[in-house]
Amino acid sequence: MKPITWQHALGALGLGLLVWGSAQALLVAPPDRHMGDVSRIISIHVPCAWVGLLVYTIAMVLAVGSLWSGRSRWDAALTAAIETGLVLTALMLLTGMLFARPTWGVWWTWDVRLTTTLLAFVLFAGVLTMRSFLEEPRRRATWTAVATIIAWVDVPLVYFCVRWMRSIHQVQSSPDTIDAAIYWPMRINAFAVLFLALWFIVLRTRVERLREEVDEVAPPAPVVTAA
Amino acid sequence: MTEGVIVGGWSYVIGAYAVVAIGLAMYAVSLFQRLRSVRRQLAVQNLAVQKAGQNDRVRAPERGRTEDDS
């Protein structure tokens, strides 16, 4: 029997917390005074948003590290972080749409928060798409890092736009304004999604590193003997 | 007293949690599949390199003789 590595322990911890936090949100937390049971969506939507933006910020730090050091392991981790961020952004957008329909009456509106979030998704997806077209490893790493830093500029906009501009999306709440019974499931789910995201990044980085090895260990050309 | 309160909506709640569960599970499965695929690819390549190395060792004296003869 294989021993459970620390990476998989991270995933198991994330999964356990997600089950616990979701059970708290669905079964224990009281419905909101105005939004009713629909408010339970916030306990999973907000953690995806928080961790998604955090993972993009980790990607930006990795991009700087990749440019600074020129080492391929930074580039591999950067790719992993971008992909994980994209998954979380997609989940954030989908759960947001499921929250918007019963509360705002529409699935989607071109509100500043929604638009900047979609823009982040498109920009980071663009980084990975651009990356797939570049074959030379050093050039690919440089361009990925530069594009990531440019794309990251949208991340603070996503977070602060609701304070800077008029938006249908609510501004950030604080624990002082939310009942603990509603706040705690959200916090537990935030840690759950964070641990799962870190697990994904570690696994995806390993895939990328092994792919590099595959490229390096190319089989030798067959021996051609003169006739 | 339901004025100003959203009533129902459990289908949206279940939908949101299901989307997240399915999304995260599918991504985890895709990572394990990619990991297995790339490991297999690397093993096959390493085997090919090992075989090529053995063949080179066998051919080396032959090549040497040919060069001397020419």
Task: Determine what percent of chain B is predicted with pLDDT higher than 70.
Answer: 76
Q: For residue A210, what pLDDT is reported? A: 93
Give B52 to chain A, closest Cα distance, Å: 7
Q: Which residues contact A200 (CB under 8 A, 6 or more apart)?
A: A80, A83, A84, A87, B27, B28, B31
A214 lies within 8 A of chain B by CB = yes
A207/B24 touch (CB, cutoff 8 Å), yes or no: no
Does B28 contact chain A (CB < 8 Å)? yes
pLDDT range class, residue B68, cuts 50, 70, 90: very low
pLDDT band at B58 (very low <50, low <70, confident <90, very high): low
Residue A223: per-residue pLDDT: 58
The interface predicted TM-score (ipTM) is 0.90
pLDDT given for residue A169 in this prediction: 86
**Helix ranges restricted to H, chain A:** 6-23, 42-69, 72-104, 112-133, 137-152, 154-164, 180-216
pLDDT tens for A48-78 read: 999 999 999 999 999 999 999 989 999 999 9
Residues 6+ positions from B12 with CB-CB distance below 8 Å: A38, A41, A98, A99, A101, A102
Chain B residues within an 8 Å CB radius of A34? 4-6
Give A8's contacts (C-beta < 8 A, 6+ positions apart): A199
A33: contact with B, CB 8 A cutoff:
yes
Contact assignment for A219 to B49 by CB distance below 8 Å: yes
DSSP A71-125: -HHHHHHHHHHHHHHHHHHHHHHHHHHHHHHHHHSSS----HHHHHHHHHHHHHH
Nearest CB to A98; choose among B6, B12, B48: B12
Write down the pLDDT at residue A33.
85
Residue B70 confidence (pLDDT) above 50 = no
Establish if B26 touches chain A: CB-CB under 8 angstroms: no
Distance, in angstroms, between B47 CA and closest chain A CA? 9
Q: What pLDDT is attached to residue B55? A: 78
Look at residue B66 in the predicted model and tell me its pLDDT: 46
> Reduced to 3 states, what is the DSSP secondary structure of residue A185?
helix
pLDDT greater at residue B61 or residue A206:
A206
Higher pLDDT, B1 or B35: B35
Whether A87 contacts chain B with CB within 8 A: yes
- The pLDDT tens digits for A107-131 are 999 999 999 999 999 999 999 999 9
Element (H, E) at B69: helix B10-69
Region B41-68 average pLDDT? 72
CA distances, A188 to each of A17, A49, A192, B57 (Å): 6, 14, 6, 60
Confidence category of residue B59, pLDDT binned at 50, 70, 90: low
List residues bridging with A32 in a β-sheet: A36
How high is the pLDDT of residue B67? 44
10-residue averages of pLDDT along chain A (227 residues): 78 96 94 90 96 98 96 95 98 96 94 95 98 93 97 95 87 81 93 97 95 78 57
Long-range residue pairs from B57-62, CB within 8 A, at least 24 positions apart, any chain:
B59/A223
